[in-house]
Amino acid sequence: MRETQQGAVCRWPGGSSNQSPLPDPAVDVAPLAESSVAEAVLAGGCFWCVEAVFLALQGVQEVTSGYAGGDAATASYRQVCSGTTGHAEAVRVRFDPATISFGALLKVFFGVAHDPTQRNRQGNDVGPQYRSAVFYLDESQRAVAEAYIRQLDDSGVFSAPIATTLEAYSGFYPAEEEHQNFAQRHPDAGYIRVVAVPKLDKLKRAFAPQLRS
């Protein structure tokens, strides 16, 4: 555990380990003409840095840190950190599908936001609350995520099989206010400098055209 002004928090010094460019998804969700907002719920370890990555993308309207995969009664930071509640730390991404597709979000998720080859952990943080997961909201999201995982495994871009689970969405519970937009509010925090900044640097190198101006 480490300490910040918010108190004890879960430690996660690890990050995405792949070095090769990821292919674009061969299968994607077609945007509905009448829809200007869609949602994705993704889990990739500690939500502070995953949130920071998605907030930098064009077409992303809102990112909320929270908990998915468990019940409302135990959806609090200290309970989820126990690893016994069934939740994963996750982010809910609200986006304009005409600007950025679900498949494009997945490419960033697998390529920058975390290391999808680690099972029930990210770096030194171990437990199911740090699992890599796509909480699909409908069958089209499930199909796209399943196809992209297969595509990435077949491509050999990662040195180990992808461990990301596909889980049916059963609810999302926003985290406490102190955890929202943490990287932007605390840019000088050691954790953010060590974990978030390298991810954002990688995002700038690999996805420059997709970033907010």
- Catalytic residues, which ones? 46
Burial of 35 (0-12, 13-18, 19+ CB in 10 A): exposed
Give every CB contact of residue 35 below 8 A, 6+ residues apart in sequence: 97
Question: Which candidate, 27, 50, 48, places its Cα nearest to that of 40?
Answer: 50
Dist. CA 104–CA 24, nearest whole Å: 7
Residue 143 and residue 27 in contact, taking contact as beta carbons nearer than 8 Å? yes
Dist. CA 81–CA 107, nearest whole Å: 27
> Phi and psi (nearest 5°) for 183?
-65, -40
Dist. CA 111–CA 201, nearest whole Å: 13
